[in-house]
Structure 1
Amino acid sequence: MTITPPALSVFESLESEVRSYCRGWPAVFDRAQGARLTDEDGHSYLDFFAGAGSLNYGHNNPVLKRALLDYIERDGITHGLDMATTAKRAFLETFQNVILRPRDLPYKVMFPGPTGTNAVESALKLARKVKGRESIVSFTNAFHGMSLGSLAVTGNAFKRAGAGIPLVHGTPMPFDNYLDGRVPDFLWFERLLEDQGSGLNKPAAVIVETVQGEGGINVARPEWLRALADLCRRRDMLLIVDDIQMGCGRTGAFFSFEEAGIVPDIVTVSKSISGYGLPMSLCLFKGELDVWEPGEHNGTFRGNNPAFVTATAALDAYWADGQMEKHTLARGEQVEQALLALCTEHGRLGASYRGRGLVWGLEFADPARASEVCARAFELGLLLETSGPKSEVVKLLPPLTITPDELDEGLRSLARAVAATV
């Protein structure tokens, strides 16, 4: 594809230097539908990014769009704080009937604000309030958000440095396979907890991602997650699962922890919960943890009613019949086979892959190669981003609704991009 550099003058002259994605994808995008975006010059791009996981059902999903347009046309409530509205009631009833009850999950639902980091902040605050302790344990290479509380339990040094102040009350522990299997799981953690001289304040909670997206697509084994849940139970710590990127079906099941057979005390959900890319997040927790005073945690935009409308439509359309999980797992097998073939063909690059459902990572021995592959993929009309502490992993995050042919097209473009960097 021949791409003419866009006229970016207003972005470069007026927008902050903090902008990032636009640097890797130098185009001005204008329209999008399903798994494709189109720039203002008419070039089409296959999307293996999906709004960082906020567009699991694709761009401008027609079912969700129709529900949203109908709601707006009838002058439905847009902004509602935490007032009771018909849109919120419909979402809560659908979420309970389609998601919570069939999984026998005993959660109360809190709307903490529009973004994922709002959900994480509320989860940390609640855990500390319930247990009366300050310390939170997180894991190496974790990412939980960009506000101060979330950064304190995030591993990435570059993102942490942006805080500008000390980030306290968080202690990192090794994520699954961080030590290459040379040390028994949780040996260090258990020893610190039982040793009165370790210097570790007893944690209120442990926060974990079942698959570390920004950390490099690091996949926790189900047995590791079960052992972590058992450790939390035995040591009187709450278990928080951050399902902001890996929830809403990204790994197959609606919640990414279902495969492990655990029931976390607190779960954070955002990104694709609205289904349409509209800002929305949830903090879910067991009923006995609901110790909030009215208004103790709030936010102006926690009642995004258009997001309630599209979220309800997404649950009805994709989760009521149980087919979404099967579809995602089948597409995941398609990706896995393609990555196996790619790594076999380019064995001298030291390439390896890992993932679950429709989130996959392709890592190279030379960390710089991942960025080169993504740049070449853009030239071929494929949107990919990197992840990992050194941006050493090519991250595949296509919409869950992508067709087999579209997925195959994107995987072929990825293979061409890899070959072009050899």
Structure 2
Amino acid sequence: MELVLSEEQQHIADSAEIFLAKASAMPSVRAISQGADGLDLKLWQAMAELGWCGVAVPDSTGGLGLGQIERVLLQEQLGRRLSCVPFFDSAVLAADALHGVAHHPMARLWLERLASGQAILTLALPEVSLPGVRAPSDARPHVEPLAKPLGGDPSRWTLTGEWPWVGSAAMAHAMLLPAQTESGESLLWLVPADTPGLQVQALQTLDATRRVACVTAHALTLDDSACVGRGPLVDELMRRVRCQGAIALAAEQVGVAQQCLDLTLAYTLQRHQFDKPLASFQAVKHRCAQMLVALESARSAVYGAACMADTQPDLPALLFYAAQARVSATQAALFCSREAIQLHGGVGFTWEFDPHFYLRRAQATSQRLGAVSWWLEQVARQLLDTPEEPA
């Protein structure tokens, strides 16, 4: 496996870093994250013009036709700048889901619109937890999504239920909503956001730079053409999308860790104690070195997982590498953001300094697509729950 970036890939990473450093500077992020919709529309339009929305979408459907590694490079820089755009929800989760059902005419049409930046889509990928883990006592129970034929007519359906945690739902033009029939068959619905009976309620979360909403369907009436996937295909697709999404999310966490290290180095170099910069003290050097080790270990895991994903491996192999990237990057982002707070001293907790924004993102992202414990459990089952080889 070649983990060294090619010249073209390095150019993508460098140009994205330069572009976002100016287009998604922290003063802009602060202002937009406190706004009503939380969307940096000017930045999103610029990204669409650059082709970022369709970076991993095949050129046959209007994308750039690049791979997971190129998308990971963009996601890393977007995480580094906490950019207020729905790239992860639209260009990663929704794009991968639509690509998996691109044989459907409606899915192909929306994938082309997504790749061109004309439309924002989101996927209500179900959150996961370990069996036997109880929800918090204050958690509100939700209605599991259920699709039923309307009056026995197979061409008309009613969709009822709730998807309690959907990223970028309030700014999406359409949503991919998984549901099940009464017999347990999985269905995937493509529903425009303005469909009567579809309700989107924004949620207040720890990370204001990324918007999340609760989506509810109240006896939503849909044509059979809105069902873009069904049966085992949907189950397999959702598992694959979760793994590929975990790799992209891990790249974002690498970006968070990188910026935490950069902020810490800049601060400890200019802050003096006993007429010496803090960065000259051995204890501070050691803690910064630990941040760097965690960061680079996570980056290697993420790039390796992205390279493996580009080879279209089977699902167990993809899950293994996605878990490795997800766990190492989550731990690196949490560690580096906490260290940044501590090494900034008392000002690290203040609103005027930036580290708390990265701590919020690291904490919130650590629970997205499954916590670290869930990914470790999947790998443990893969390694241990296999039939013993004959002696």
Asked if TM exceeds 0.5, the reply is: no
TM-score, normalised via structure 1 length? 0.26
The higher relative CO (CA closer than 8 Å, separation ≥ 6) is in: 1
Compute the TM-score of the two structures, normalised by the length of structure 2: 0.27
Which protein is richer in helix relative to its size?
2
